[in-house]
Amino acid sequence: MSARTVLQQADISRALTRIAHEILESNKGAADLVLLGIPTRGVALAQRLGALIEQITGTAVPVGSLDVTMYRDDLAKHPTRSPQPTEIPAGGIDGKTVVLVDDVLFSGRSIRAALDALGSIGRPAIVRLAILVDRGHRELPIRPDFVGKNIPSARTERVNVRLTENDGADEVTIGA
Protein backbone atom coordinates (compact mmCIF):
# COMPACT_ATOMS: atom_id res chain seq x y z
CA MET A 1 0.00 0.00 0.00
CA SER A 2 1.40 3.39 -0.92
CA ALA A 3 1.32 6.42 1.34
CA ARG A 4 -1.62 8.77 0.93
CA THR A 5 -1.49 12.48 1.66
CA VAL A 6 -3.85 13.50 4.46
CA LEU A 7 -2.67 17.10 4.96
CA GLN A 8 -1.16 19.46 2.42
CA GLN A 9 0.66 22.77 2.96
CA ALA A 10 -2.57 24.82 3.13
CA ASP A 11 -4.12 22.36 5.61
CA ILE A 12 -1.06 22.54 7.89
CA SER A 13 -1.04 26.32 7.71
CA ARG A 14 -4.76 26.50 8.59
CA ALA A 15 -4.32 24.05 11.47
CA LEU A 16 -1.42 26.04 12.93
CA THR A 17 -3.35 29.32 12.64
CA ARG A 18 -6.27 27.75 14.50
CA ILE A 19 -3.95 26.32 17.18
CA ALA A 20 -2.31 29.76 17.64
CA HIS A 21 -5.74 31.34 18.22
CA GLU A 22 -6.74 28.54 20.62
CA ILE A 23 -3.51 28.97 22.62
CA LEU A 24 -4.14 32.71 22.91
CA GLU A 25 -7.76 32.17 23.94
CA SER A 26 -6.81 29.55 26.52
CA ASN A 27 -4.00 31.72 27.94
CA LYS A 28 -6.06 34.94 27.70
CA GLY A 29 -3.33 36.52 25.57
CA ALA A 30 0.39 36.09 25.10
CA ALA A 31 1.56 37.08 28.60
CA ASP A 32 3.84 34.58 30.39
CA LEU A 33 3.64 32.16 27.46
CA VAL A 34 6.59 29.99 26.37
CA LEU A 35 6.55 27.57 23.43
CA LEU A 36 8.92 24.59 23.56
CA GLY A 37 9.21 22.36 20.51
CA ILE A 38 10.22 18.72 20.81
CA PRO A 39 12.93 17.94 18.22
CA THR A 40 12.92 17.52 15.41
CA ARG A 41 9.75 18.76 13.74
CA GLY A 42 8.14 20.06 16.93
CA VAL A 43 10.80 22.80 17.00
CA ALA A 44 9.82 24.06 13.53
CA LEU A 45 6.14 23.92 14.49
CA ALA A 46 6.81 25.87 17.71
CA GLN A 47 8.68 28.53 15.72
CA ARG A 48 5.78 28.81 13.29
CA LEU A 49 3.28 29.09 16.15
CA GLY A 50 5.45 31.76 17.79
CA ALA A 51 5.50 33.75 14.55
CA LEU A 52 1.71 33.40 14.17
CA ILE A 53 1.08 34.50 17.75
CA GLU A 54 3.34 37.53 17.24
CA GLN A 55 1.51 38.33 13.99
CA ILE A 56 -1.87 38.10 15.77
CA THR A 57 -0.96 39.97 18.97
CA GLY A 58 2.07 42.06 18.08
CA THR A 59 3.82 40.44 21.06
CA ALA A 60 6.85 38.19 20.61
CA VAL A 61 6.50 34.89 22.46
CA PRO A 62 9.67 33.08 23.62
CA VAL A 63 10.27 29.88 21.64
CA GLY A 64 12.76 27.17 22.53
CA SER A 65 13.39 23.46 22.19
CA LEU A 66 13.27 20.60 24.67
CA ASP A 67 15.25 17.46 23.91
CA VAL A 68 13.69 14.37 25.49
CA THR A 69 16.19 11.75 24.32
CA MET A 70 17.76 10.94 27.69
CA TYR A 71 14.34 10.84 29.38
CA ARG A 72 12.85 8.23 27.03
CA ASP A 73 11.97 4.80 28.38
CA ASP A 74 12.89 3.03 25.12
CA LEU A 75 16.61 3.87 24.90
CA ALA A 76 17.49 0.19 25.27
CA LYS A 77 15.45 -0.59 22.12
CA HIS A 78 16.64 2.48 20.18
CA PRO A 79 20.12 3.36 21.48
CA THR A 80 21.09 5.23 18.31
CA ARG A 81 19.05 8.34 19.10
CA SER A 82 21.34 11.34 19.10
CA PRO A 83 20.44 14.11 21.54
CA GLN A 84 19.38 17.46 20.11
CA PRO A 85 19.99 20.79 21.82
CA THR A 86 17.65 21.98 24.54
CA GLU A 87 17.25 25.74 24.31
CA ILE A 88 15.24 27.38 27.06
CA PRO A 89 14.39 31.05 26.37
CA ALA A 90 16.20 33.64 28.50
CA GLY A 91 13.21 34.27 30.78
CA GLY A 92 13.10 30.58 31.76
CA ILE A 93 9.96 28.58 32.41
CA ASP A 94 9.33 29.08 36.14
CA GLY A 95 5.81 30.36 36.73
CA LYS A 96 5.07 30.49 32.98
CA THR A 97 2.52 28.75 30.81
CA VAL A 98 4.59 26.32 28.77
CA VAL A 99 3.12 24.87 25.59
CA LEU A 100 4.93 21.73 24.47
CA VAL A 101 4.74 21.39 20.69
CA ASP A 102 5.21 18.17 18.72
CA ASP A 103 4.28 16.86 15.30
CA VAL A 104 2.56 13.51 16.03
CA LEU A 105 1.01 12.14 19.21
CA PHE A 106 0.96 8.35 19.22
CA SER A 107 1.66 6.35 22.39
CA GLY A 108 2.29 9.40 24.60
CA ARG A 109 5.78 8.22 25.59
CA SER A 110 7.60 11.20 24.03
CA ILE A 111 5.33 13.57 25.94
CA ARG A 112 5.91 11.69 29.20
CA ALA A 113 9.64 12.08 28.55
CA ALA A 114 9.11 15.78 27.81
CA LEU A 115 7.33 16.27 31.13
CA ASP A 116 10.25 14.60 32.92
CA ALA A 117 12.75 16.77 31.03
CA LEU A 118 10.72 19.89 31.80
CA GLY A 119 10.66 19.04 35.50
CA SER A 120 14.45 18.89 35.57
CA ILE A 121 14.66 22.43 34.16
CA GLY A 122 12.10 24.34 36.17
CA ARG A 123 8.57 24.62 37.45
CA PRO A 124 6.05 26.07 35.02
CA ALA A 125 2.70 27.30 36.31
CA ILE A 126 0.86 25.37 33.60
CA VAL A 127 1.91 22.90 30.91
CA ARG A 128 -0.19 22.52 27.78
CA LEU A 129 0.29 20.28 24.74
CA ALA A 130 -0.09 21.30 21.08
CA ILE A 131 0.05 18.55 18.46
CA LEU A 132 -0.21 18.79 14.68
CA VAL A 133 -1.51 15.20 14.28
CA ASP A 134 -3.17 13.02 16.91
CA ARG A 135 -3.25 9.47 15.56
CA GLY A 136 -4.58 7.70 18.66
CA HIS A 137 -3.26 4.46 20.20
CA ARG A 138 -2.25 6.02 23.52
CA GLU A 139 -0.35 3.84 25.98
CA LEU A 140 -0.29 6.53 28.67
CA PRO A 141 -3.06 8.84 29.93
CA ILE A 142 -1.90 11.86 27.91
CA ARG A 143 -4.28 14.09 25.98
CA PRO A 144 -3.40 17.13 23.85
CA ASP A 145 -4.92 20.54 24.59
CA PHE A 146 -4.58 21.76 21.00
CA VAL A 147 -4.82 19.44 17.96
CA GLY A 148 -4.34 20.30 14.32
CA LYS A 149 -5.98 17.13 13.01
CA ASN A 150 -7.16 13.81 14.44
CA ILE A 151 -6.14 11.09 12.00
CA PRO A 152 -7.36 7.62 12.93
CA SER A 153 -4.75 5.06 11.95
CA ALA A 154 -3.89 1.43 12.39
CA ARG A 155 -1.01 0.65 14.75
CA THR A 156 0.89 -0.78 11.80
CA GLU A 157 0.52 2.36 9.70
CA ARG A 158 3.12 5.10 9.72
CA VAL A 159 2.24 8.79 9.88
CA ASN A 160 4.95 10.93 8.26
CA VAL A 161 5.10 14.67 8.82
CA ARG A 162 7.25 16.61 6.38
CA LEU A 163 7.96 20.28 6.99
CA THR A 164 9.69 22.76 4.73
CA GLU A 165 12.31 23.58 7.39
CA ASN A 166 13.40 19.93 7.66
CA ASP A 167 12.23 18.22 4.49
CA GLY A 168 11.71 20.87 1.83
CA ALA A 169 7.90 20.54 1.71
CA ASP A 170 4.85 20.62 3.97
CA GLU A 171 2.68 17.50 4.02
CA VAL A 172 1.41 14.70 6.21
CA THR A 173 1.13 11.23 4.74
CA ILE A 174 -0.07 7.92 6.12
CA GLY A 175 0.84 4.50 4.84
CA ALA A 176 2.19 1.07 5.68
pTM: 0.95
Q: Tell me how far apart the alpha carbons of residues 82 and 28 are, in angstroms, rounded to a whole number.
A: 37
* pLDDT, tens only, 139-148: 999 999 999 9
Question: pLDDT for 121-138, tens place per residue?
Answer: 999 999 999 999 999 999
Give a yes or no: residue 168 inside a domain.
no
User: Does residue 161 lie in a domain region?
Assistant: no
E runs forming strands in 69-167: 97-105, 126-134, 146-150, 158-162
Q: Is the pLDDT of residue 103 over 90?
A: yes
| CB-based contacts of 145, cutoff 8 Å, min separation 6 | 22, 26, 99, 128, 129, 130
Residue ranges making up the domain that contains 92? 11-72+86-153
For residue 124, what pLDDT is reported? 98
CATH number at residue 99: 3.40.50.2020
Asked if residue 30 is part of any domain, the answer here is: yes
Q: Is 2 within the bounds of a domain?
A: no
pLDDT digits (tens, 9 = 90+) for 50-70: 999 999 999 999 999 999 998
